A and B are shown apart, each in its own frame.
Chain A
Amino acid sequence: MLNIIKADLYRIFKGKAIYVAIIIILVLASVSCFSMSPGHIGINTSFEEQPLVQDEELLNKVYETDSILETRKLMKEYGAYPLDKGQLGANANLYYIFIIIVVTVLVTDLSNSTAKNTLSSAISRKKYYLSKLITCIGLGTFLVLINNYGSYLINLIMNGREFSAGLLEIMKLTILQLPCFYGIISLLVCIGFCFRKTGTFNSITIPLIIVVQLILTGISTLFHLDTTNILNYEFQYIIGNLIANPSNTYILQTLVLAIFYIIVFNVIGYRVFRKTEIK
């Protein structure tokens, strides 16, 4: 199994996709740090979250302007706040980076039929499945760390220490978010093993996050349920909520949800893959 992981890492670091993903992550972090306006600061309405910037007048001005320089000026005037912590609240964007990882590690192998070279040798389907899952999770963790610590360092360089939450806080928040990322990677791996074609995989996974939100909103509207309460257990909201001093109960609930995702999607993925004919 270790050999399959090593081989995949050799192949992936010989290709361009991983470097493109790293560049995208660092460019987005740089733009966000420079504009001092990472995706979710102050706009999340969940009950758990304490907005990092609470001045509504300021936020309205930020939303009205198109200029990054103007945004930066406004946010600087507001004063010190942990910008890198806010940056982590926008980590749901990493979902699209995880798609790149799963495509590179797994779906390309199944879609190009190169998987048959591996599976016709002395490698069982179980080993193959686990190796791919571990590689995806490993690379996912690597990119999350690059994103989180990259944002931290870029923010330190661009904005100074007063806008930073500190290294320990970043580490704590990273650990809180990782189980949810692993749950989402498990979902993507499951879809990859079930559909095995790059085009199909992309057409399902790219809009999935929006579709899930729409469905949840639709259900809550239809049955007159509390939309906010339901959305708090949706991936994008969980990632945002986890950076805003959530209660221990909420942390535990998201952890249980993440473990549920990891188990359920991997069981489904493996059961489907075990019986699949390799083209």
Chain B
Amino acid sequence: MQEIVLQTNNLTKKYKDFIALDHANITIHKGDIYGLIGRNGAGKTTLMKTITTLTTKTGGSFSLFGSEEELTESKRRIGCLIESPAFFDNLTAYQNLKYYSIQKGIVDEKQIAKVLKTVDLSKEKNKKFKKFSLGMKQRLGIALAILDNPDFIILDEPINGLDPIGIKEIRDTLKRLNEEEKITILISSHILSELYLIANHFCFIDKGRIIKDLSKEELDLECSKCIVIKTKDVKKGTVVLEKELSTTNYKVIDDTEIRLYDYLENSAKVNKTLLNNNIEVMGIYESGISLEDYFNSLIKDGDE
């Protein structure tokens, strides 16, 4: 069984009357790139701040690497970039990382050079932080997050304000860290299309509530174009699809729903074939939406 890196149980954070995080339940497994998606003010940063103890929880609980009690010890295994990257303006990139490496008790100075190389900042190591562009600041933030060779990194909107080239660089860096260093990543953004290219698990959050938690395959399934067939006899329906229409490109969703990914332009033929084989069709229609529309529909459903 895969190791659970982070698990929250009804995690709640209130600011007076405002509920910033409402009974949030998420589970992140080792090796995941877990995308947290939500509008500005949805609760993404609050969730991350609560996990990293930058703010106190009002209710619920969470565990890091299976431990609820020894959070300080568990936090040794995580690296973070919460909100915008913050460093000392008057220090260079190298000096800033040196400061944190002393703080974390890292003796080997090669580690600083290594993380600077990972985020492609080796050439700018002697440049003062105040002279850095936003992209360079974000990359230095990621360098700090991975300085201590963590098992789990938490990145809050690391692609915010970056140009397309900067976004690609961050994306490639994160994918490399996940694949080569086996680092589990929790990354938040309000740009679903960008997260889609990085993450393999998605969690939608709005008004502090988790409104959907699904894998990339499930998201693809939810969004891809298909013919939705509603019937009481799903089993017989699939037999007809295979025998009469020669397709296995379908998925049984539940006892009353089949999703067919072929014959997208000819739903009438599908309907006729099913009826001819005495299958009661309660409904048949085309479905499939863009990621943005899917996101919007989730938020709308949540509001309702």
B80/A10 in contact, CB under 8 A: no
B99/A11 in contact, CB under 8 A: yes
Q: Which residues of A contact B73 (CB under 8 A)?
A: 122
**Please, how many angstroms separate the alpha-carbon atoms of A122 and B98 in the complex?**
17
B91/A14 in contact, CB under 8 A: yes
**Please, how many angstroms separate the alpha-carbon atoms of A163 and B257 in the complex?**
100
Interface check A6, CB cutoff 8 A: yes
A3/B104 in contact, CB under 8 A: yes
Q: Knowing that A3-B105, A7-B102, A275-B56 touch, tell me 11 more A-B residue pairs with CB under 8 angstroms.
A: A6-B103, A7-B103, A10-B102, A113-B83, A113-B86, A118-B103, A119-B53, A120-B54, A122-B73, A122-B75, A123-B103
Q: Which residues of B contact A116 (CB under 8 A)?
A: 54, 80, 82-83, 86
Q: What's the least CB distance linking B128 to chain A, in Å?
A: 11
**Please, how many angstroms separate the alpha-carbon atoms of A16 and B128 in the complex?**
14
8 A Cβ contacts from B250-266 to A: none
8 A Cβ contacts from A223-243 to B: none
Q: Which residues of A contact B82 (CB under 8 A)?
A: 116, 120
CB-based nearest A residue for B54 = A278
**Please, how many angstroms separate the alpha-carbon atoms of A7 and B88 in the complex?**
13
B contact residues, total (Cβ < 8 Å): 33
Q: What's the least CB distance linking B129 to chain A, in Å?
A: 10
B144/A112 in contact, CB under 8 A: no
A120/B103 in contact, CB under 8 A: no
Q: Which of B53, B56, B88, B99 contacts A120 (CB 8 A)?
A: B53
Interface check A160, CB cutoff 8 A: no
Q: Which residues of A contact B171 (CB under 8 A)?
A: none
**Please, how many angstroms separate the alpha-carbon atoms of A116 and B53 in the complex?**
10
Interface code A3-35, partner B: CB below 8 Å = 1, 0 otherwise? 110110011001110000000000000000000
Interface code A132-170, partner B: CB below 8 Å = 1, 0 otherwise? 000000000000000000000000000000000000000
**Please, how many angstroms separate the alpha-carbon atoms of A108 and B89 in the complex?**
10
A277/B49 in contact, CB under 8 A: yes
Interface check A114, CB cutoff 8 A: yes
A contact residues, total (Cβ < 8 Å): 26
8 A Cβ contacts from B94-112 to A: 95, 98-100, 102-105
**Please, how many angstroms separate the alpha-carbon atoms of A152 and B83 in the complex?**
50
**Please, how many angstroms separate the alpha-carbon atoms of A10 and B95 in the complex?**
9
CB-based nearest B residue for A11 = B99
Q: Which residues of B contact A4 (CB under 8 A)?
A: 103
Interface check B87, CB cutoff 8 A: yes
Write the residues of chain A forming the contact surface with B, with a CB cutoff of 8 angstroms: 3-4, 6-7, 10-11, 14-16, 108, 112-114, 116-124, 275, 277-279
Q: Which residues of A contact B76 (CB under 8 A)?
A: 121-122
A121/B75 in contact, CB under 8 A: yes
**Please, how many angstroms separate the alpha-carbon atoms of A113 and B84 in the complex?**
9
**Please, how many angstroms separate the alpha-carbon atoms of A4 and B100 in the complex?**
9
A11/B88 in contact, CB under 8 A: yes
Closest 7 CB pairs of A and B: A113-B86, A120-B52, A7-B102, A7-B103, A122-B76, A277-B55, A120-B80
Q: What's the least CB distance linking B34 to chain A, in Å?
A: 17
**Please, how many angstroms separate the alpha-carbon atoms of A11 and B78 in the complex?**
24
Q: Which of A15, A120, A277 contacts B90 (CB 8 A)?
A: A15
A112/B102 in contact, CB under 8 A: no
- Quick one: given A10-B102, A124-B72, A277-B49, are A119 and B54 in contact (CB under 8 Å)? yes
What are 20 A-B pairs with beta-carbon distances under 8 A? Answer: A4-B103, A10-B98, A10-B99, A11-B91, A14-B90, A14-B95, A15-B90, A112-B88, A112-B89, A116-B54, A116-B82, A116-B86, A117-B86, A119-B52, A120-B154, A121-B75, A121-B78, A121-B104, A122-B72, A277-B54
CB-based nearest B residue for A108 = B88
Interface check B148, CB cutoff 8 A: yes
**Please, how many angstroms separate the alpha-carbon atoms of A158 and B51 in the complex?**
61
